[in-house]
Chain A
Amino acid sequence: MRWARILGQRFRSLFQRSTVDRELEQELEIHLAQLTREYRESGMPEAEARLAARRAFGGEALTREECREKRGTGWMEDAGKDLNYAARMMAKSPAFTLTAVLSLALGVGANTAIFSFMKKVIFELLPVREAEQIVKVSRKNMLMADMNAFNYPLFRDFQNAKDLPFDGFIASTSFGRSTLLTESGAEPVQGDFVSGNFFEVLGVRPALGRLFTSDDDVKPDGHPVVVLSYNFWQRRFGGDAAILNRVIRINNFPFTVIGVSAQDFDGMDPGSSPDYRVTFSMEPSLAGGPTGQSSLPQRGSWWISVYGRLKRGVSYERAGDMLQPLLMRSFELAGQGKPMTDFRRKVLATERMFVEQAAQGGGGFRQRYERAIWVLMGMVGAVLLLACVNVAHLLLARASAREHEFSVRRSLGAGRGRLVRQLLTESMLLAVGGGAVGLLVAKGFSRMLLGLLVSDRAHSTLNASLDGAVLTFNFAIAVVAGLAFGMIPVLRASAGKQMDSLRGTRAGSARRMIGRKLMVSVQIALSLVLLAGAGLFLRTLSSLKGIDPGFRTSGIIQMSLNPAGYTTERTTAFYREIVERIRALPGVQGVVASRQRVVSNSSWGSGIRVAGFTTREGDRGPNRDAIGPGYFSVLGLPLVAGREFTAQDTATAAKVAIVNESFARFYFGGESALGKLIGPGGKEDPDITIVGVVKDSKYRSLREDVTRFWYVPVEQVPTFRGGTLILRTSGNQAQVINGVRATVAAADRNIALFDIKTVESQINENFSMERLLAMLSAMFGGVAALLAGTGLFGVLAYSVTQRTREIGIRMALGARPAQAAWTILREVGWFTALGLAAGLGLALACGQFVGKMLFGVKPNDSATLVAACIGIAVVALAAGLVPARRAAGVEASVALRTE
């Protein structure tokens, strides 16, 4: 209770100061009046009594002052005065204030923007109950280090096993592109399969209606209910609560909307959110179709991600060990009755279960961006440091100008602490100003980052909002920065001898300049690191852009579609029909259907059997695609031998394949591949005849090495449903796309087109991170060089002013102007060289960290480093030129007269 009373008192003294002062006055006045009365009553005349009372009373002003002091709020009042004074000082020199606040705002804002991403992508816990218990369940073997992929029966085994140290297992998997049917047509949407207990185990609450329970995930195809994500509910249905209990059609299958998941819950991969979730029970109808196979009962399909809630106090090692027997048993059940190669047995022996913490989620989004975000954080950290050094330069220059002011104040009795407080107040005011403007910078900057980084805007839940933690971070670094650069002039001011300045001598200033020049060296070092980074990332981007994909990219558009639920016959007829009609559209030079998209990071791995060839142990095998007639001429990929697939390569015709050069060379060496027999892995007798060899090309991404590849006709793949249309166009692409939409809708209005993109924009998208890094590092590198240049210029200009007298004397003694200029340039040389040396070391050290993100250039690439050094040297020279000329122009007589 006492502290409350004390706090109340302080509050009163601070904010009701005039009342408190008035009360004190009254109190003292009463005392004086009583004293006077006493004297009067003892018989003194009125005037005399008053005088006597005054005498006895003593110094009233002193008492009043002492009482005020006892209030213990003096320092706050001082702070108020300091603040007032600091604000006035800043208003008086707007150029200084603006420069300082803006450079600080730039540094702080950039850091805040990156931090807000970092927080969302790296640090933030999943918005679920006791997130720290959530673990990712994974397996590894001698071939693969980390696989979060399991078969569905094994997941059920986990759930049903007794005595496992888990409070539940959950599973989810994306089933990607699906079609939402509405009155207006078919729309592409993205969905996830989840286990019925998904929301229960995580402790996620509904924003509307209810979420799944285990009862919604029992009978195959028995639970046509769907939970929408908040993002999708808002985006597609405008947050209309009437959506509840309505029936929506997904892949032409009716689902009842039972609820909407919580707003902040994206899923296990924060940053992007699927549109809806259904339980695994609905997989047969949604993904399988009438002839397609359901993956649910298959122990050979490793397609779902498993997470668990680990009981408290259980180590990850123990948890993994306890899951191990279930994994081994699943392999046994899967392999029953099938022969097993020695190699397979060897791989199986190294299969291990392990769990790892997944409190922040465990998705690819984070893996993809984590390193880039750290690199960006490093860059903006360096920029902030540079900005701080620049502000310190400014403050130092000002401190020199204010030396006289401080000396006067000190000789008038201002304590050292009082002056320090004054200086710190000024720095803090700058810091807070910089922080405030920095918020605006952060806002704009994170918008820009979002635009560059996120290609799938619709499903992204990243936003440029600034929450409490980000605000705190922003002002915390602003204040730390303020303290850091604020301390420098403080140390100087408190060390300075007042008399020197009052006398007007400039002794000691030469020594002090060393600190400032070292600061310039630091700036040069940091700028070099940023410039070198910019060079590396720019070269990476240009090497990536220079990659020859092997086919002609211009004018090619890809789009995906999924006629789920079609029979094989209907699928064949459908594709034949739309390809025929699209080919007739104006602006279309060629069109073909295929299973895969090119340069989209997706592939269809396959085992292979080649007649007369024994595959080496552990060989990953080639990749494969199913393609329509004329595929290679549409892509502009030349055939080396044989023929393309034609309309005659139907389901009933002889089985044929086309292979690429790498494939032919690998399996047949010098022999011709034509006429050789191959087949998918597992089958006994290869029965597919190679009819063509095509030139090598990039397939999944431009970064990859060319892989062995084989192609089969789409019509000879009975499971072919969802696929890609590849068009070569000339002229207006928008018009062509509209034509394709209309054509597909005319064939079946329930089929949606997904991801309609030109190959060129697809490639650009694939390089979005590299482009982002190249752009930002170039930008920051430029800013850094500019900051270092201005810093250097300021120091040299000041140095010339300081040394005018010395230069004047030298001139008088016969030195030539060139020699005077040389003195200055030599100085530039020294400190630039020092900065460059330090910067090179730093750049090489940082290079190790970004090595993995580069392409076509080594982190210690000498050309890049030399170019960066030259860049800095040019900036330094430019900054040194004007001061050097000024030094050369010093007139001996004038210089000596001014002293």
Chain B
Amino acid sequence: MGKPSELIQGTVDLLILKTIAKQPMHGWGIAKRIEALSDEVLSVGQGSLYPALHRLEQQGWIAAEWKDSDLGRNAKFYGLTREGRKQLEKELTSWRRLSGAVQLVIERG
């Protein structure tokens, strides 16, 4: 198993928003889930995860709440706000366009 790839700056936001779209999660859970869903290819280190979470919170896309967790103690759960949901749609659209374009270049190149 190779080392998980570092993420391109900017995609972290998208991954976080997408990950917590179904239900609010705590930081550890988000990191684990991204790793699991990407078959351990992508890893979000705490050094980029928490600043990103705090930035998204300040921007009003996500909201946090302290709740009982599966970790056996209170944890800070992040969930999407209504505006966050819209933002996620926007970022998904632009991501699809971007990755589609990259794909095209690779296939036709």
Taking A6-B60, A34-B28 as contacts, is the C-beta distance between A70 and B55 under 8 angstroms? yes
A114→B21 CA distance, assembly (Å)? 63
| B27 adjacent to A6 (CB under 8 Å) | no
Extra contacts besides A5-B60, A30-B73, A62-B47 (14): CB < 8 Å: A1-B82, A1-B83, A2-B81, A9-B58, A9-B60, A10-B58, A24-B50, A27-B27, A34-B71, A63-B47, A66-B47, A67-B54, A70-B58, A71-B58
Q: For the complex, is A398 an interface residue (Cβ under 8 Å from B)?
A: no
B53-76 CB mask vs A (1 if < 8 Å, else 0) is 011011110010010000101111
| B60 adjacent to A70 (CB under 8 Å) | no
A58 contacts which chain B residues (CB < 8 A)?
Answer: 45-47
A57→B75 CA distance, assembly (Å)? 18
B54 contacts which chain A residues (CB < 8 A)?
Answer: 24, 67, 70-71
Within 8 A of B (CB), among A59-105: 59, 62-63, 66-67, 69-72
| B76 adjacent to A70 (CB under 8 Å) | no
B66 contacts which chain A residues (CB < 8 A)?
Answer: 23
A72 contacts which chain B residues (CB < 8 A)?
Answer: 58
Task: List the 10 closest pairs (A to B, CB-CB), nearest first.
Answer: A66-B51, A70-B55, A2-B60, A70-B54, A5-B60, A67-B54, A2-B83, A34-B28, A6-B60, A58-B47
A285→B46 CA distance, assembly (Å)? 95
A3→B59 CA distance, assembly (Å)? 9
Taking A6-B58, A72-B58 as contacts, is the C-beta distance between A30 and B51 under 8 angstroms? no
| A63 adjacent to B60 (CB under 8 Å) | no
B31 contacts which chain A residues (CB < 8 A)?
Answer: 31
Q: For the complex, is A812 an interface residue (Cβ under 8 Å from B)?
A: no
Residue among A34, A58, A59 with max Cβ neighbours from chain B (10 Å): A34
| B28 adjacent to A6 (CB under 8 Å) | no
Q: Which chain B residue shows the least CB distance to A9?
A: B58
B81 contacts which chain A residues (CB < 8 A)?
Answer: 2, 5
CB distance from B3 to the nearest CB of A (A): 11
Q: For the complex, is A28 an interface residue (Cβ under 8 Å from B)?
A: yes
A70→B56 CA distance, assembly (Å)? 9
CB distance from A294 to the nearest CB of B (A): 76
25 contacts between A and B (CB under 8 A): A2-B60, A2-B83, A5-B63, A5-B83, A23-B66, A23-B76, A26-B74, A27-B76, A28-B46, A30-B28, A30-B71, A31-B31, A34-B28, A34-B71, A62-B47, A63-B47, A63-B50, A63-B51, A66-B50, A66-B51, A67-B51, A70-B55, A71-B54, A71-B58, A72-B58
A13 contacts which chain B residues (CB < 8 A)?
Answer: 58
| B50 adjacent to A67 (CB under 8 Å) | yes
B4-26 CB mask vs A (1 if < 8 Å, else 0) is 00000000000000000000001
B73 contacts which chain A residues (CB < 8 A)?
Answer: 30
A59→B50 CA distance, assembly (Å)? 12
Interface of chain A: mostly helix, strand, loop or mixed: helix
CB distance from B64 to the nearest CB of A (A): 8
A31→B45 CA distance, assembly (Å)? 10
| B58 adjacent to A27 (CB under 8 Å) | no
| A30 adjacent to B58 (CB under 8 Å) | no
Taking A5-B63, A70-B51 as contacts, is the C-beta distance between A31 and B46 under 8 angstroms? yes
CB distance from B104 to the nearest CB of A (A): 35
B57 contacts which chain A residues (CB < 8 A)?
Answer: 9
A59→B73 CA distance, assembly (Å)? 24
CB distance from A823 to the nearest CB of B (A): 61
Q: Which chain B residue shows the least CB distance to A69?
A: B51
Q: Which chain A residue shows the least CB distance to B61?
A: A2
A59 contacts which chain B residues (CB < 8 A)?
Answer: 47
A67→B66 CA distance, assembly (Å)? 18
A28→B45 CA distance, assembly (Å)? 11
CB distance from A860 to the nearest CB of B (A): 65
Q: Which chain B residue shows the least CB distance to A56?
A: B45
A716→B73 CA distance, assembly (Å)? 111
B75 contacts which chain A residues (CB < 8 A)?
Answer: 27, 30
Point out the residue from A5, A10, A57 that lies within 8 Å of B46, measured CB to CB: A57
CB distance from A371 to the nearest CB of B (A): 56
Q: Which chain B residue shows the least CB distance to A8?
A: B60
CB distance from B66 to the nearest CB of A (A): 8
A1→B47 CA distance, assembly (Å)? 30
A1→B57 CA distance, assembly (Å)? 14
A6→B59 CA distance, assembly (Å)? 6
A59→B60 CA distance, assembly (Å)? 27
A1-25 CB mask vs B (1 if < 8 Å, else 0) is 1110110011001000000000110
A28→B57 CA distance, assembly (Å)? 16
| B58 adjacent to A63 (CB under 8 Å) | no
A24→B58 CA distance, assembly (Å)? 14
CB distance from A254 to the nearest CB of B (A): 72
A67 contacts which chain B residues (CB < 8 A)?
Answer: 50-51, 54
A6→B60 CA distance, assembly (Å)? 6
A24→B76 CA distance, assembly (Å)? 9
Q: Which chain A residue shows the least CB distance to B46?
A: A31
B71 contacts which chain A residues (CB < 8 A)?
Answer: 30, 33-34
CB distance from B60 to the nearest CB of A (A): 4
A30→B76 CA distance, assembly (Å)? 10
B63 contacts which chain A residues (CB < 8 A)?
Answer: 5
A10→B73 CA distance, assembly (Å)? 27
A31→B63 CA distance, assembly (Å)? 19
Q: Which chain B residue shows the least CB distance to A34?
A: B28
A13→B58 CA distance, assembly (Å)? 9
B73-94 CB mask vs A (1 if < 8 Å, else 0) is 1111000011100000000000
A23 contacts which chain B residues (CB < 8 A)?
Answer: 66, 76
A32-74 CB mask vs B (1 if < 8 Å, else 0) is 0110000000000000000000000111001100110111100
Q: Which chain A residue shows the least CB distance to B59?
A: A6
A27 contacts which chain B residues (CB < 8 A)?
Answer: 26-27, 50, 75-76
B76 contacts which chain A residues (CB < 8 A)?
Answer: 23, 26-27
A31→B27 CA distance, assembly (Å)? 7
A413→B83 CA distance, assembly (Å)? 40
A62→B47 CA distance, assembly (Å)? 8
CB distance from B50 to the nearest CB of A (A): 5
B46 contacts which chain A residues (CB < 8 A)?
Answer: 28, 31, 57-58, 63
Residue among B45, B54, B76, B82 with max Cβ neighbours from chain A (10 Å): B54
A27→B52 CA distance, assembly (Å)? 14
A6→B84 CA distance, assembly (Å)? 12
Q: Which chain A residue shows the least CB distance to B84?
A: A2
CB distance from B15 to the nearest CB of A (A): 17
| B60 adjacent to A30 (CB under 8 Å) | no
CB distance from A639 to the nearest CB of B (A): 95
A62→B63 CA distance, assembly (Å)? 23
B60 contacts which chain A residues (CB < 8 A)?
Answer: 2-3, 5-6, 9
CB distance from A276 to the nearest CB of B (A): 62
A24→B54 CA distance, assembly (Å)? 9
CB distance from A26 to the nearest CB of B (A): 8
B27 contacts which chain A residues (CB < 8 A)?
Answer: 27, 30-31
A70 contacts which chain B residues (CB < 8 A)?
Answer: 51, 54-55, 58
A10→B59 CA distance, assembly (Å)? 10
A29→B53 CA distance, assembly (Å)? 16
B45 contacts which chain A residues (CB < 8 A)?
Answer: 58
| A30 adjacent to B26 (CB under 8 Å) | yes
